[in-house]
Structure 1
Amino acid sequence: MQTQSNKKLLVRLCGFVLAMFAFGFALVPLYDVFCDLTGINGRSVQRADINTQTLVDTSRVIRVEFVTFDKTGQPSEFIARAPSVEVHPGEMKNVSFHVTNPLNEAVSVRAIPSVSPGQGSLYLNKTECFCFNQQALAANETTEFKLRFFVDKALPEEIKVLTLAYTLYPISEQTLANAL
């Protein structure tokens, strides 16, 4: 009788452990979805379906500054071609980022964006961004990462400057294993 109840307890505990393990895996994509929907953590809401050409507010000018950080641990180069651009709310802008892989081996990197002030992230809409996916760089490759964005004309009047910061992280098999 005691062994049977111990077996039931063991099965329940193992089920609980598996459920917690699955929940841990589900947290990352759930957090990403939550951040995308709310704009929290500097992630901007992506609304590429908006026809921005009819929404340009030429009476205002917003300066969007670009800051880059390289956390790859290598002497690579990751900089915005222009440190800032001026944009009318609703106007589509294209920006390039210069990236160099100085290593004699291919690497994969991921750029994580952050917008300041945080409230401004709700109004910075990226329609095309290298940060959407991990990027592969061949050995000794120099390339351009592209960003296409617009600032929603509903941006509060008191916000005149937005700072878009990208931090470049290496993605390796070990990094992916640790994330899982």
Structure 2
Amino acid sequence: MEIQETTPISISVANRRLVKRLLLITVAMFGFGFAMVPIYDVLCAITGLNGKTGGRVAAVESSAVDEARTITVEFIASLNVGAPWEFTPQVNRMQVHPGQYYQTHYLARNLTGHALVGQAIPSVAPGLAAQHFQKIECFCFTRQIFQPEEGREMPVVFRIDPNLPPDVHTVTLSYTFFRVDDAGG
């Protein structure tokens, strides 16, 4: 077996080629990660996955209340990791009739000694129900400014569209509360 000697020039060329490839891979990975957010939003809009409700409902067409049908709405609150808040739903579940308007509250408290800004991101499960869950008023539409140690009730006014498929008996409304770092604190 013969051992080939490599010259410093061939190692240097190989190293440059490797560095160029690694840089190209790094740029491609960054570009892919950057493109994932709009791709994910489009995928969610097409498939109804992730329970995105599509934001504020400006005008909800009036329809009859279906009193023969009862849907259980569950309320969940979670915090972004390390968030300096208390955040809970006022009630954990509610029995509702499709077409009727309901109001509930989430309770939030700033646990720090300085002002904070928070934003809630909603999610509805099952994903199929997201397009039938209509929020008329919601604290999630705007950022919430909390003074030091301030707590408050934050309202959600909603209704379930009577066109919700009949095999859906439970709908879960979940909010994750994030700290937004433009509070100056």
2:113 corresponds to 1:92: no
Among 60, 76, 80, the alignment partner of 1:50 is 60
Change (3 A) 1:33 1:142: farther
2:87 corresponds to 1:78: yes
Percent identity over paired residues: 35
1:47 shift after superposition: 3.7
The one-letter amino acid paired with 1:81 is Q
Asked whether the equivalents of residues 72 and 170 of structure 1 are also in contact (C-alpha less than 8 Å), the reply is no
**Unaligned regions of 5+ residues in structure 1, if any?**
1-20, 175-180
1:76 shift after superposition: 2.3
Among 39, 58, 63, the alignment partner of 2:72 is 63
Calculate the aligned-residue CA RMSD, in Å. Answer: 2.6
The one-letter amino acid paired with 1:50 is V
Query: Which residue does the alignment assign to 1:4?
Result: none
Among 107, 124, 136, the alignment partner of 2:145 is 136
Q: How many residues align?
A: 151
SS where residue 55 of structure 1 aligns? Answer: coil
**Unaligned regions of 5+ residues in structure 2, if any?**
1-30
1:41 shift after superposition: 2.9
Larger helix share, 1 or 2: 1
Distance 2:38 2:48 in 1: 15
TM-score for the superposition, normalised by structure 2: 0.71
Change (3 A) 1:39 1:133: farther
1:75 shift after superposition: 4.8
